[in-house]
Amino acid sequence: MRTQKDLCRFLHIFYVLLSIAIFWSGACHGQSVGNADRLSDAPKSNISEAEAKGFFARLAQFYRQDWWGKAASSAAPARRGAPSPLDSPPFPNADWSYGGSPVIGEPDTNSYPLMTAINGARSRTKIYGWIDPSLNFSTSSSRNEPEANDVYSNRFELNQFVLYAERLPDSVQRDHVDWGYHLTALYGTDYRYTTGKGYWSNPWVIDHRQYGFDPTLEYVDVYIPQIAEGMNLRFGRFISVPGIEAQLAPNNYVFSHSLLYAIDPFTDTGLLATVKLSDRWLVQAGITGGHDVALWAPDAKPSATGCVSYTTRSVNDNFYLCANGINNGKYAYNNVQQYDATWYHKFSKTVHMATESWYMYERDVPALKGKIQPEIGTNAAYCLPGEQRCTAPEYAVVNFLQKEFSAHDFVSFRSDFLDDKKGQRTGYATRYSENTIMWCHWIGTTVQLRPELRFERAWDQPAYNSGHRHNQLTAASDLIYHF
């Protein structure tokens, strides 16, 4: 019954956002957009003849042209800044990524099937999303934890049914202040990873339900071009800034997530300033209420975030360093102190890699089997005998190596190491390693198929199959259907 309520809530939000899109299609009828980073804008070239057709006919025409390669293309609007180092598609992003802001100087060229069917993709407000089912086969019989996102063993699941509503600020121009916003509604098994305490969190934090709904992102962007080469202010709930991966499926090289990503913060709520100093330097500073908590939650506390990004003149390398959610580090819900470093390197036109490492810790974490009970939704730590509380640190490093074969195909190989020294993040005090190989294939620019083979090991104690095995092998795939 509760799962049905969550689905009904999601569908209600879908209806509301779709109504907003239709309203804006009339209010912003004359505004135009360009090519897509991920999704083709081709159906717009035929919109005049398609306007006479109904909504579903226009939607079908978009997919037909996209899948059969009949979509016309047009020159992309000029960007402001260094050239993009990557092709997207097939890769999730064309630029070396940084969090907490749209790419400053990048035109809003995205056009989507749903918006094309609604109004010919002529409004700056856009409603779009995807459906992401998955299937996995595992040597574990119960759950695949700490693996994410195919956490339930040997199952077919709906990982994500996601709906976006957004307006991106125009950060190419330097004449006037512009604004944007973003709303995300997520339903599926992956809601457990995005849940923040205080945001409809009881279905996961209290009840541990398999399926649920999460209002994952809600923020407003204000772009101020007069500061340096452009500054973006973001206020609201946004994806935690550092890192290669993101919880939303299309934003990742590989279907399943690295162990490094599976246990670090997912969303923060607060204010973040992103300042582009030049084509090579970018800095960020912000204040949030801590990780994975609403500002009104009892665990929220003022926390600082600071990042710096440097790109070489050749654009073949990028270094992104962040201190994320820094406060006194005292134990609270997901109050980890995170220090993160990411390095992107392009070997050639078709080969590049991305490497990330972090160090995290919490102070005064309750001891396992001690007198102090950990907070609901968190783990205790393997403290020394006699300790009631202790500091719980973790170290991790991950490397992604990608080879592009065509505009529709690439292969990614990921190697991952995690040392959960006190077991506070995974429930087991052990070192982990993980290796995954995945092939991503695009059908047009609207469907992704991502089969993978993954092997991982817990070295110091059994941590897989509910703590009964050292090793785990999974074969899995998801399919992302964009709309």
Query: Any bridge partners for residue 152, and if so which?
Result: 143
CA–CA distance from 106 to each of 37, 110, 230, 236, 238 (Å)?
Answer: 10, 11, 12, 22, 20
Residues 288 and 242 sit within 8 Å (Cβ to Cβ): no
Nearest to 116 by CA among 171, 148, 170, 72: 72
Residue 126 has pLDDT above 80, yes or no: yes
What is the C-alpha to C-alpha distance for residues 301 and 297, in angstroms, rounded to an integer? 9
pLDDT in tens, 238-294: 999 999 999 999 999 999 999 999 999 999 999 999 999 999 999 999 999 999 999
pLDDT in tens, 58-89: 999 999 999 998 766 666 678 899 999 999 99
Q: What is the pLDDT at residue 120? A: 87
pLDDT in tens, 10-25: 555 555 555 554 554 4
Q: What is the pLDDT at residue 47? A: 44
pLDDT in tens, 337-382: 999 999 999 999 999 999 999 999 999 999 999 999 998 889 999 9
Residue 299 has pLDDT above 50, yes or no: yes
- Residue, of 291 and 121, whose pLDDT is higher: 291
Q: What is the pLDDT at residue 109? A: 83
pLDDT in tens, 394-405: 999 999 999 999
Q: What is the pLDDT at residue 19? A: 55
Residue 7 has pLDDT above 80, yes or no: no
395 class by beta-carbon count within 10 Å (0-12 exposed, 13-18 middle, 19+ buried): middle
Domains, the chain: 127-482 (2.40.160.10)
Q: What is the pLDDT at residue 83? A: 94
Confidence grade of residue 121 (pLDDT, cut at 50, 70, 90): confident
Residue 37 has pLDDT above 90, yes or no: no
Q: What is the pLDDT at residue 11? A: 57
What is the C-alpha to C-alpha distance for residues 88 and 109, in angstroms, rounded to an integer? 12
Residue with tokens 């783990």: 379
